[in-house]
Amino acid sequence: MRMDNILIINYDLNNITSISNVLKKIGHNPIISSDPSKLRSAAKIILPGVGSFDSAIKILENYGWKDRLREFVEKYEIPLLGICLGMQLLAESSDEGSPIEGLGLIKGNIKKLEKNNSNEKVPHIGWNEVNQKKESIIFQNIPNNTDFYFVHSYHYKINNHEEVLGETPYCGNFVSVINKSNIFGVQFHPEKSAKYGIQLLKNFINID
């Protein structure tokens, strides 16, 4: 296995085992760490997450990740992929839990999903399509409207629509893939999304 300096951030609210296993399956050996000093040697950063926005931000602050992560991603332009809650943490704030400032890496706020009809349920759990709004390296070899696996109750209300790469037709059409420069976020779980989820992780790892 190759040591690519892929850093998976461990802050006790993330499903890191399945992501690590997928990366190992495709020939990589990621570093899993709760130590922000590991950012110095990281070539790629993955920020997974399950749970609530406010709890996650507080833990990132307590571990010393919050300011260091912003510094390394913005100043040194290390590619970052936020997954599920990890994508939401990129926002400025969230309606979930107590008020607290997010990472603020991509301008926007996290809002509760609202059902449009009786067939929709919140939390949104299961497979649903991603409509690709723009071409991106993250979608390389992934057909438009491919299904990915979701588990969430909140969505990203983004300020700049040019930073939207994908949307999903559920609860009124929510943003499911975002990108600003070297920063990417996906609302779904690529590690649970079969071959195209694996392809998306490959695409991220292959970013120069």
Asked if residues 130 and 145 have their Cβ atoms less than 8 Å apart, the reply is yes
pTM of the model: 0.95
> Containing domain of residue 22, as a range?
6-205
**Residue 207 CB contacts under 8 Å (≥ 6 apart), including other chains:** 44, 79, 137, 182
CA separation for the pair 172, 174 (Å, rounded): 6
Structural domain contains residue 48 = yes
Give the residue-averaged pLDDT of 149-157. 97
Looking at the structure of the chain, the number of domains it has is 1
Residue 33 lies in a domain: yes
65 is a domain residue: yes
Cite the active site residues.
84, 189, 191
70 close to 103: Cβ distance less than 8 angstroms: yes
∠ CA(196), CA(155), CA(173), 5° rounding?
A: 75
Confidence of residue 180 (pLDDT cuts 50, 70, 90): very high
pLDDT band at 62 (very low <50, low <70, confident <90, very high): very high
14 assigned to some structural domain: yes
Q: Is residue 1 part of a domain?
A: no
pLDDT tens by residue, 8-55? 999 877 778 899 999 999 999 999 999 999 999 999 999 998 889 999
CA dihedral (61, 65, 70, 71) in degrees, to 10, reads 120
pLDDT at 46: 97
Q: Peptide bond before 169: cis, by omega within 30 degrees of 0?
A: no
Q: Which two tokens stand for residue 40?
A: 């110095």
Determine the pLDDT at residue 1: 46
DSSP state, residue 2: B
Query: pLDDT for 63-99, tens place per residue?
Result: 999 999 999 999 999 999 999 999 999 999 999 988 9
Residue 200: give its domain's CATH number: 3.40.50.880
